[in-house]
Amino acid sequence: MWVDEMRIKALAYSMVCLIGVSLPAAAAERIAATYNFILHGFVVSTAETVAALNPHDYRLDIDFRMRGIAKLFSNGHSEITATGRFGQGGGLAAERFVSAGHWDGSDYSRTMVFDGAGKLKEQKRDFPAKWLKEYRFEPVPKDMQVGPDPASLIVALLRDPPLAATGDGVKAYRVFDGDSVVEWQLKCGPDMVEVEKSSHSPKYGPARECLVGNRLVAGKLIETEKQRKKRLKREAKAAKRKDKDDDADVAPRLWLQAVPGSRYLVPIRAEFKTGMGTIRMYLKDLTYADTNGLSR
């Protein structure tokens, strides 16, 4: 499995762990959120996310690990760090993206360095030979090799939230992961909905519901015959599930709630369907602090 990119793409629905309202950051702030991912009642993975936002730059750290029974099938983990700068107009320019970890019995790492305009300047990959052989992608045009990277997308959402979408209500964000360009689309409803109380999270009550989608822009996977047959088999199974279940084709969803005393919204729940069933994300822990020493 192409663990680095495929896992990021699959979990990006729920890795949008910090979303802000459209206000400029005036002081250094730190937001830390821990999420559990639950499948069939069991915790299968955990994501710990820490965002440090300064007036002119940012740093985001994500620690993702498999948990519980899922470790028997894929005892892996990833540590991701993204850094960058904010421009005078509030725009974001990625500077560095590092993803490293251990999956499928192999260590891996990817480092991307961007120039002052956020364009890719250098990329280093240390992947198992099997990954490089089995997973090849069509070239991405040079003018599309720009940030944000997958992790900096979270920071971009802090600065440019989907709640500010206009027209059809869909807000789109392009992400370059080193091999492909993917457009992520978010659409949030205008009204609050009620999120039920759960033993998995201390957060519930009124929240904004958002739908998540994506489309490949560039960097299509060059399939082997084996991969093509597997894809066709997955698509056939998905079609059968859709015929039996009206909800089988429901888009991934997340629910946002305000952090008291701050400018930010965070997802308190999320869910998306997989071939193994519906994975649900729950906010387990959240802390917020600013330069004045205030913590919540």
pLDDT of 2-33, one tens digit each? 333 334 334 443 444 555 443 444 568 888 99
Q: Whole domain around residue 163: which residue ranges?
A: 3-290
Q: What is the pTM of this model?
A: 0.85
Q: Which residue has the tokens 């999320």?
A: 270
For residues 232 and 224, is the Cβ–Cβ distance under 8 A? no
- Does 205 map to a domain? yes
Count of structural domains within the chain: 1
Q: How many other C-beta atoms are found inside a 10 Å radius of the C-beta of residue 255?
A: 27
pLDDT tens readout for residues 64-117:
998 877 666 677 899 999 999 987 776 889 999 999 999 888 999 999 999 988
Nearest to residue 149, comparing CAs of 178, 116, 123?
178
Q: What is the mean pLDDT of the chain?
A: 83
Strands, E, within the chain: which ranges? 19-20, 29-39, 42-53, 57-66, 77-86, 92-103, 106-114, 120-126, 136-137, 170-176, 181-195, 205-218, 221-222, 253-258, 264-274, 277-290
Give the pLDDT of residue 162. 72
Domain contains 295: no
Q: Is residue 101 part of a domain?
A: yes
Report if residue 296 sits inside a domain: no
